[in-house]
Structure 1
């Protein structure tokens, strides 16, 4: 049971939320205290998207929040068979797993974000008209089939012109065709998402094949909905926190928060010595910080990326060891009682899954060793390997 772990701070009724209470509520709503009901789509909804640049990490992120019998196959079934999940470009233009049913909200919100600075040379950039042509060509080409990048390039060039296929984008010691700078834009507009791999080749498809007739929500409504979901999962949060999560200008986020506050959709609280916001009326927090025990979170887990302030989750030595220059997610982390207490790494060799865990000094007691072994066993079940645990230094560096 939760109680209102708050106290009045002024005559207007502003309330104070402790970091411990906020962290405990995030853990619970993230499925890190108890499993989330409803399957992989419900989990990714609770996480507000699962980062999937490393798909095996996303599979682990989602499955560890489900009941004990869930494995990576549970996530793959939701993604490639029943279609309740979609793999597409989400926040920050990075690959995410999202609930298919939420595509109208996500595409409406992401396509309404302010355009950032274009780092490409002028000779490589595409005009607004060219971008529209390419997005329309992508939607048309993928309407009835899954296509590899090369196949899609041919289709786009045939519909727009050779300029779209000019190999001018520097990428991984090669050159990509010009149109690929707009891959995430096409996804944000609802014209493209990932299809199942064809052997070792990535394919793309049109998300309307998963959700026939879907239309992106209008920008203002979609952005409001995304803010509310973010605040429900990770609040209290500030415009700076939200802007960092989406990689948008802080001033723009502050104006959005002001609008939602004026509309009565959000509520101001006192958090970490300053103002922050929650969904209006959502001020119930645990009275005491629970002890969720040990969790092994993989690369780019949503909880580590979106929870703020980062200095509290990665306190003390964890900030130096488990962050890559202040960037969360680049190391898999050991979570003990809701805070980062080390790093870990797994390597597969045949049926074996070698798991190395490096706890920070003094954090892994003898009593906690059994809990760690249970989590390693659960990781092996999810990734469908036979785990072998080593407690010691992790020599692998941060993920790029």
Structure 2
């Protein structure tokens, strides 16, 4: 879906009071809520209050909930996205792996846009309810179907997946056998085009099964992915009713990424724009969200959520592939201004390059290559860094090394690696 600039149009709510939010204040607010803000110089050096009573696994789930998930197409990048936001400086990718596979406070599954995300396990009722409702809306209210399965056979496949994975992890080949055994040979027919290959028919329903709460990822077996049943993460959960789940998802999205428009929400979820506009209109009529003026552009926030940070946006951050801030924040032409749109976006799409963020704005790209315990980090700023910004970059490089449990060698210069596919 294109990320070209747009003129978002808010649903019409007569006589609604409008707060005016400057762009710099919106950026500072987003940085603060994404745990990316640099604390004021006179702030006490202490971890957030939540850190006093929670462990790393609980903290990772809390951060994932605030971000509305961490994009995990590249799992190592999702681990960095969450670990860099945990309280203190001792967190590593290993803490995120433990939260996912041992403590199970996180679950790897298909989230917004049908892409792989790390989500809090406790939020599975919300996400399954919201994504199933969105799926129905995208099908114009009809039952789910795919290009390779009608609605009835989709239901059969989802039921077979849930049963086969109830108490185990299976590779794709093992799951194919289990589904065919429960449904028939048609489910295993290799008819689905994928990566110069043909996949079994049932795989077109993978995201549907995840959205209905029948499937999530399990730990890899060697280099092979596995699937399992998310009820092993959160036993007995029931998806929220669709309207309730969607309303809560909009509130959480606006908390993290607002002020934002219905079109931004549609792009973030992969939903039809008209449907998103209607969803916002209904929430506005109930007084759950309110319109604001974002630097001259109509946008929305959760009702009453108009307080802004006192400090301007500041700080240097290294955001990995597909970081939530890069992918979810709009408008694109402000988050990726000027040369950043050419260098840090791929065909207008955010996330395909790791981003150097300066004062909340994309200001370069970076790449890392690991050799044993040494991490060769190259950062390409798009403009000269001030002395303070260079010091911030050095600190971020050291932080990256700690997160990855290695030693960083930093080079400031051109990044020659292309975008992630």
TM-score range, shorter chain: over 0.9
Corresponding residue of 1:265: 288
Conserved? CA contact 1:116–1:248, under 8 Å: no
Q: Select 1:159's aligned residue among 178, 182, 193.
A: 182
Deviations 1:260-305 (A, max 9, x none): 01111111111232321111111111244132x1100000000011
Structure 1 stretches (4+) deviating beyond 3 angstroms? Answer: 34-38
Please, which moves more after superposition, 83-92 or 36-45?
A: 36-45
Deviations 1:37-69 (A, max 9, x none): 451001111111000010000010000011210
Shift of 1:11: 7.3
Q: Select 1:29's aligned residue among 19, 30, 33.
A: 33
Partners of 2:16 and 2:132 in 1: how far apart? Answer: 37
Corresponding residue of 2:3: none
Corresponding residue of 1:4: none
Please, which moves more after superposition, 55-64 or 14-23?
A: 14-23
Shift of 1:367: 3.6
Where in structure 2 are the equivalents of 1:89-238 lying within 5 Å? 89-113=110-134, 114-115=137-138, 125-238=148-261
Tell me, what secondary structure is at the counterpart of 1:69?
coil
5+ unaligned residues in a row in structure 2: which ranges?
1-13, 40-46
Tell me, what secondary structure is at the counterpart of 2:219?
strand
In angstroms, what is the RMSD of aligned CA positions?
1.7
Shift of 1:169: 1.1
Shift of 1:115: 2.8
Conserved? CA contact 2:380–2:412, under 8 Å: yes
Q: Select 2:372's aligned residue among 321, 336, 350.
A: 350
Shift of 1:374: 1.2
Shift of 1:350: 1.4
Corresponding residue of 1:53: 73
Conserved? CA contact 2:148–2:192, under 8 Å: no
> Relative to 1, partners in 2 of residues 1:240 and 1:365: Cα closer, same or farther, differing over 3 Å?
same
Conserved? CA contact 1:40–1:78, under 8 Å: yes
Using the size of structure 1 for normalisation, the TM-score is: 0.93
Partners of 1:369 and 1:263 in 2: how far apart? Answer: 48
Shift of 1:397: 0.5
Conserved? CA contact 1:124–1:178, under 8 Å: no
Shift of 1:12: 4.8
How many aligned residue pairs are there?
385
Using the size of structure 2 for normalisation, the TM-score is: 0.89
Tell me, what secondary structure is at the counterpart of 1:111?
helix
Corresponding residue of 1:5: none
Partners of 1:11 and 1:125 in 2: how far apart? Answer: 48
Please, which moves more after superposition, 122-131 or 273-282?
A: 122-131
Q: Select 1:370's aligned residue among 384, 391, 411.
A: 391
Shift of 1:123: 11
Conserved? CA contact 1:124–1:168, under 8 Å: no
Tell me, what secondary structure is at the counterpart of 1:112?
helix
Shift of 1:157: 0.4
Tell me, what secondary structure is at the counterpart of 1:208?
helix
Corresponding residue of 2:350: 328
Corresponding residue of 2:403: 382
Tell me, what secondary structure is at the counterpart of 2:133?
coil
Corresponding residue of 2:9: none
Corresponding residue of 2:329: 307
Partners of 2:330 and 2:321 in 1: how far apart? Answer: 18
Please, which moves more after superposition, 279-288 or 389-398?
A: 279-288
Q: Select 1:65's aligned residue among 62, 82, 85.
A: 85
> Relative to 1, partners in 2 of residues 1:390 and 1:167: Cα closer, same or farther, differing over 3 Å?
same
